[in-house]
Amino acid sequence: MNKNTVARLVTIAALVVPACRETVTPAPVAQPKPALTVSTTTPQEFAWPLLVAAAGNVAAWQEAIIGPELNNYRISEVRASIGDQVRKGEVLARIASDVVDSECLEARAAVAEAEAILVEAHANEGRARQLRDQGFYSPQQSIQSQTAAATARARLNAARARLHAAELRRAKADVVAPDGGIISAAQATVGSLTQPGQELFRLIRGGRLEWRAEVTAAELGRIRPGQTVRLESPNGTLLAGIVRSVAPTVDPQTRYGLVFVDLPADSARSLNAGMFARGQFEVGQQPALTLPQSAVQFREGFAHVFRLDTPPLPTGDSPVSVTQVKIGTGRRHGDRVEVTTGLDPAAQVVASGAGFLADGDSVRVVGDSERR
């Protein structure tokens, strides 16, 4: 090999080696593009209320049946109807009192007559006493005058009693409310005759309603007077009640016992007597690990959360992958769901937007929703 050939090979090698070095330099690895920007949360422990669910009917606290106290008299006026709010002593209906008025007039005349007879008897008794002292009257005649005066006094008292009875009958011509409340039924009609035991009106005393919840025998012993009750009306309104009393017996056929719950005074706006309602009794508290409802996704009949594989950087610029984890859920309270199994208490999970993620997706974390 001559010198020219060697020089040519050296020149070619000098040109090829740098080019080879440039081709083998590794290219930078591209970061995965985040699928979603999310906030995170961690399971929180709360004092979870222990609830006993029940159902039952809404009823009047006390319902008074109002009937006539005068029989075989015609109703002349009706002043109340169903739904009216009435006060104690308010006139609900009037009964024609012509006959009773005449009885009152007759009784007053009898009283006036008896008073006149008594005045005469007293005068005769006084004269008889003077004549007896002068020896003109025998003791027997004096006793007769005294007896006549006593009889006149008794007849006056009897006449006054009959007048009082007639006035009472006259007062009973007005059918009045025995207490304040709401008229729940009205059967009185103008022109009809009153009958013994007839129902003219039905009154819910004080407008108060109560919930008569049916509770199983096993759970009846956990309920005590004074406990709080959350009741849901048929139209979705939530009400708070207080347990007033618990029935001491259980129905042997249904194995349910009754719990009587006092409802607030304004419950009549959303509830009516006879409605069916559901509610829950708060019988205590128990610690529970919970997540917000938005962090839990239900897919194919199971509950899942998306757990962050690595803690995000403080800046939040680096994408983080998430893993779909199946968990066990328990009770619910408000917007919180109890986590029973499948999740570490220190784990970070996606708090919002989990419904748009899939297993293995990368996300960008913007903050902790539980701390904002």
- Is the CATH code 2.40.420.20 the one for domain 36-47+288-371? yes
Report the first-to-last Cα separation within the chain, whole angstroms: 81
pTM for the structure as a whole: 0.58
Statement: residue 166 has pLDDT above 60: yes
Q: Give the integer Cα–Cα distance in Å for 96 and 91.
A: 14
- Band of residue 12 on the pLDDT scale cut at 50, 70, 90: low
Statement: residue 369 has pLDDT above 90: no
Return the pLDDT at 367: 65
Per-residue tokens: 71 = 């029989």
Which tens digits make up the pLDDT trace of 255-285? 999 999 999 887 877 888 889 999 999 888 8
Can you tell me the mean pLDDT for 328-355? 85
More confident residue, 88 or 371: 88
Return the pLDDT at 17: 46
Can you tell me the mean pLDDT for 2-6? 54
User: Helix 139-171 vs helix 98-133: angle between axes, to the nearest 10 degrees?
Assistant: 160
The enclosing H or E element of 110 equals helix 98-133
- Band of residue 99 on the pLDDT scale cut at 50, 70, 90: confident
Can you tell me the mean pLDDT for 192-217? 90
Which tens digits make up the pLDDT trace of 277-307? 999 998 888 888 899 888 898 888 889 899 9
Instruction: Report the top-level CATH class of 52-62+207-285.
Output: mainly beta
Return the pLDDT at 229: 92
User: 3-class SS at 20?
Assistant: helix
What is the amino acid identity at position 145? S
- Band of residue 33 on the pLDDT scale cut at 50, 70, 90: low
- Band of residue 179 on the pLDDT scale cut at 50, 70, 90: very high
What CATH number labels 64-202?
A: 2.40.50.100
Return the pLDDT at 142: 66
Statement: residue 215 has pLDDT above 60: yes
| Domain extent listing, the chain | 36-47+288-371, 52-62+207-285, 64-202
Q: What is the mean pLDDT of the chain?
A: 82
For the CA atoms of the chain, what is the radius of gyration?
47
Say which DSSP state 297 is in. E
Could you tell me which of 116, 89, 106 has the C-alpha nearest to residue 166? Answer: 106
Per-residue tokens: 213 = 């919840």
Which tens digits make up the pLDDT trace of 346-367? 888 988 877 788 888 888 888 6
What is the amino acid identity at position 62? Q
Return the pLDDT at 246: 93
Q: Give the integer Cα–Cα distance in Å for 229 and 62.
A: 20
